[in-house]
Chain A
């Protein structure tokens, strides 16, 4: 099995030469989930087609999942949010008797390269957070209905719901068997949700995490691993009844019965070996450097919210958000050797600001416009969490204003050309002051100016426009070289970056990007990166006698007993 290093031969699940992974799908194409509706109650039932793994070499038994299963889940959550504003409650269950979900497929993990495992876990966590956001942002209450085995990442999926109902039948258990069985960290993102979200006592969580068979019934309820254990004769009726009891009333911003959703049309991008072309966002790859170009709006914003809804798929910010999201996922999974990301924008800053104003004007009342804003928030978080060096290049013809300025401040560095003959500016607006927080709960500017309240106050008070020297002075860009130095400065920066150890850069960037307070999200990603990824490459997990390597084989693991 291939393990950690970049030079290791790529295994099927990681090779860029393998069939590229696509992230767009729709309910008609689902292989693993059934999405159904009963008025305000939606039901998402897992029924994994065991023969339909994303890659050959493993069978998705017992509702175990691979990336393909999670891509469908992410799509289902997205469509619930956009296409079904009438939904007030989501019941997440399984259509396979006796099993809820056995977690990530072990053989899939075993045959995957390290980089793929990391990105797989990251994506599944982003999806679970998206599910959690749905409750907070759309008022859709989520209920996990466990009428069968719920293990590992399967329990993590349940943990992502607001409530967990467990069938008390003497057999059904929730479990995190990873430590005793596989020698890796439990769940898909570690134990943060157990102790931080559900606030399970750490000593009980310790017992739970070392007990391969898990905890059943009333004890699971007592330990708060689930919210309620319900006798099997009443279970399904009780879940139904509970879902109905939560389904009354209106959701936020006009989410209510009879409200029509917005059907998300396919993006229809073109994908080649050298990049991706969408309407507003393109990705171009040369050597190990990828350039993302985000284009500004080509028309003024719609007249009102109704007009926006009428051409929903044409709404600029929504389209940009979806396209950037797609490009980032393509980059993570299909372009593994690209280490440096150059972020550019093109267009009319005034139009960007006009669109921002339109979105912010309506987001409080209109669920669809709000959802659009949240899609942009999510795409930017995806950029923050992408383990590639990002440099923003701010040059004439660019439109780093408001919502698009966030790209510059998300990047690890921003270079701005200072050329009096070719004016060039960055601009701020209300988008930069609150609606697009990072994982740490702060705006990108607040995170940047953690130690400098005055600078933050000044930036919040002055929308600009800023030319190069002013932007550098205000701390809004890293460097603003003049036209004599700019080209060389940028070229050298990119060349130098591309020569540094990709692992060191990943660690360095992740450490620098998320200053400020810890949140559930930062803990999940931080601990995932630090611990799971460390354990994944340790011989005790993935060496020739490691527990993960030997799982399913006749030999028992042999551990190196030295603690670090």
Chain B
């Protein structure tokens, strides 16, 4: 594996200069990418100096470099984890054979589909979040938003590298389509439903980075076990960046909870109206946002009983989370997963009956289990904030069956504990369980920008510390004086 070439037009550690064909393909894609970034990336702020980290190496130590950079000048590059020459296919029918360095013809279409589906989420989330800069609660948060955005952009580069390198003309066409689709556009939507819903406020943004990006993390973890080695190495490096996105989400929601707890203690009340009157977000509203974003993200794991999942595992295209460390049997032709499956029950209330699903066909559900376990740790840590603040309230994850739009639970109604209920009952209770129009308009009303160093919006507590050893009050964004007032990117101070 080549060393990191930071001077190249496209920074990389894949010896791009030795592969003229690939280099030309990527260099011709690059202007289209930048054009997409200017059209669909963060609205405004493109001339401002943002204190961002840039990947400069793939070693465990010091892979990231922090400095001020204008976003369009960010050094998007291609970085893969170093290869280990004797890596074997970790799972499935070919487990133990040497990992594939080239795409096996038999699995080309499946791998392309897997990569395109993953890749599509990266620009999608940038598009979903493109207006948030205008309502950032602080410079610290604004910088975090843009860090997430540029790294999603880099993840797109990582996937496009695979498409260009290994999938010929089809791959190049798919790479173009990744820049052509638009989140929420009726005629050219992003592939997955969740990535077509706008992220309109910062509570949603933090929920998205907690729950939806965490789906991405687990998908990457499964792909990191792929027998197709370049995919495994690419996704392993992406995971190091993804960790920051989870951090932004979890601490963001945590700070909102902290603020709610502080206000409740100050006012000595848990009355949501009182909390809202004081400019914070009440816990029941936070709980409803958790319910909405968790349930929407759980959909992303695919069908509970899935032939595709079985095929992908059998072929060694995707593995389980920590396949090599956590499991002894990597072939998995035997074994079952006991799954509660809804059945017609005369009325419209489902009857759940446990069914035995062959493990391979339940691979999506196995990954979903790991994801849910990880989410539960997050909620535990949020509850610890309440505990420390001496608050009796607790937040919780809804059951995986709640509010599902995909998979075997779709079309049935379940309460947040996962009990089957009627559609009428769900409708009647949905204002308790999911964000209402008034919740959304209240949250929206809080979204006024706070963009002076050292200031923080009233609905969210400051973080304990800042980025790169700095205080949170530090000037993470330096606005371009020239553009203030002339409307470039609609400066927050001008939009009221």
Residues of A within 8 A of B (CB): 51, 168-171, 180-181, 211-213, 231-234, 551-556
Which of A51, A180, A233 is within 8 Å of B187, CB to CB? Answer: A233
A399, chain B: closest CB distance, angstroms: 52
> Given A555-B314, A556-B314, are A212 and B307 neighbors across the interface (CB < 8 Å)?
no
Chain A residue numbers with a CB within 8 Å of B177 are 170
Contact B344 A51 (CB under 8 A): yes
Contact A554 B314 (CB under 8 A): yes
Chain A residue numbers with a CB within 8 Å of B451 are none
Residue among B93, B187, B189, B344 having the largest count of chain A Cβ atoms under 10 Å: B187
Which of A213, A231, A552 is within 8 Å of B361, CB to CB? Answer: A552
A-B complex: 3 closest residue pairs judged by Cβ atoms:
A554-B360, A231-B187, A554-B358
> Given A554-B358, A554-B361, A556-B314, are A171 and B187 neighbors across the interface (CB < 8 Å)?
no
Contact A170 B186 (CB under 8 A): no
Cα A233 to Cα B186 with chains together (Å): 6
A410, chain B: closest CB distance, angstroms: 44
B162 sits at the interface (CB 8 A): no
Chain A residue numbers with a CB within 8 Å of B315 are 556
Chain A residue numbers with a CB within 8 Å of B189 are 169-171, 232
Contact B109 A213 (CB under 8 A): yes
Residue among B181, B310, B360 having the largest count of chain A Cβ atoms under 10 Å: B310
B4 sits at the interface (CB 8 A): no
Chain A residue numbers with a CB within 8 Å of B87 are none
Contact B187 A168 (CB under 8 A): yes
| Chain A residues touching B, majority SS | loop
Which of B93, B344, B358, B361 is within 8 Å of A556, CB to CB? Answer: B93
Residue of B at shortest CB range from A106? B307
- B: interface residue count bin: 20 to 34
B490, chain A: closest CB distance, angstroms: 27
Chain A residue numbers with a CB within 8 Å of B187 are 168-169, 231-234
Chain B residue numbers with a CB within 8 Å of A553 are 310, 358, 361
Cα A76 to Cα B109 with chains together (Å): 38
> Given A233-B186, A556-B315, are A211 and B93 neighbors across the interface (CB < 8 Å)?
no
Cα A122 to Cα B358 with chains together (Å): 34
Told that A170-B181, A171-B189, A180-B109 touch, could you supply 8 new A-B pairs with CB distance under 8 A? A169-B186, A170-B191, A171-B191, A232-B187, A234-B187, A554-B360, A555-B314, A556-B311
Contact B307 A211 (CB under 8 A): no
Residue of A at shortest CB range from B311? A556
Chain A residue numbers with a CB within 8 Å of B307 are 181, 551-552
Chain A residue numbers with a CB within 8 Å of B188 are 169-170, 231
Chain B residue numbers with a CB within 8 Å of A233 are 186-187
Cα A181 to Cα B188 with chains together (Å): 28
Chain A residue numbers with a CB within 8 Å of B444 are none
The 8 A CB mask of B98-119 against A (1 = contact, 0 = none) is 0000000000011001000000
B359 sits at the interface (CB 8 A): yes
Contact A554 B333 (CB under 8 A): yes
B63, chain A: closest CB distance, angstroms: 35
Contact A212 B314 (CB under 8 A): no
Contact A554 B109 (CB under 8 A): no
Chain B residue numbers with a CB within 8 Å of A180 are 109
Chain B residue numbers with a CB within 8 Å of A231 are 186-188
Chain B residue numbers with a CB within 8 Å of A170 are 177, 181, 188-191
Chain B residue numbers with a CB within 8 Å of A169 are 186-189
A253, chain B: closest CB distance, angstroms: 42
Contacts of B131-188 to chain A: CB distance below 8 A: 177, 181, 186-188
A288, chain B: closest CB distance, angstroms: 41
Cα A233 to Cα B184 with chains together (Å): 12
Residue of A at shortest CB range from B303? A61
Contact B113 A213 (CB under 8 A): yes
Contact B186 A555 (CB under 8 A): no
A201, chain B: closest CB distance, angstroms: 18
Cα A211 to Cα B333 with chains together (Å): 26
B239 sits at the interface (CB 8 A): no
